[in-house]
Amino acid sequence: MDKSTAAATATEKVTTWVDKFKSYTNLDGFSERFNISSQQFIEVIAYLGVAFFVGFIFKKYSRSIIIGLIAIVVALVFLEAFEIVTIDWVQLRQMTGVHPQDTISGLISMWVELARTHIMLVISMILGFFIGYKVG
């Protein structure tokens, strides 16, 4: 077998493998099957991947993450009580969209409505997080 025949055979195998991979990852086929656009499908996969990573990291380092968050909150409250640090609560409320007259039930209903609007992304995030948590 000469070099040109071996190269042609190798190229044919790679092309066949690439074509098989393309057939498995046919975005248009998935889009038609689930009745979503290719852009929405890519968003769902991206959210699934990020949530998988977060779930994986959370399982490995959850104790450290929780202790770190509690320490940061306690430190900020302590530093603000002694007026070493000033937190602009008005600016913080404007950034988060939470107003002083909002109640817990109002915030929960707002978050539930947001989740209903983006249900596919929420489901993909939950699945990704739990899969990452189980793998981690």
Q: What is the pLDDT along the chain (136 residues), one digit of tens a residue?
A: 555 555 555 555 556 666 666 666 666 666 677 777 778 888 888 999 999 999 999 999 999 999 999 999 999 989 989 988 888 888 888 888 787 778 888 889 988 999 999 999 999 999 999 999 999 8
Give the predicted TM-score (pTM) of the model: 0.63
Q: What is the 3-state secondary structure (H, E, C) of the chain?
A: CCHHHHHHHHHHHHHHHHHHHHHHCCHHHHHHHHCCCHHHHHHHHHHHHHHHHHHHHHHHHHHHHHHHHHHHHHHHHHHHHCCCCCCCHHHHHHHHCCCCCCCHHHHHHHHHHHHHHCHHHHHHHHHHHHHHHHHC
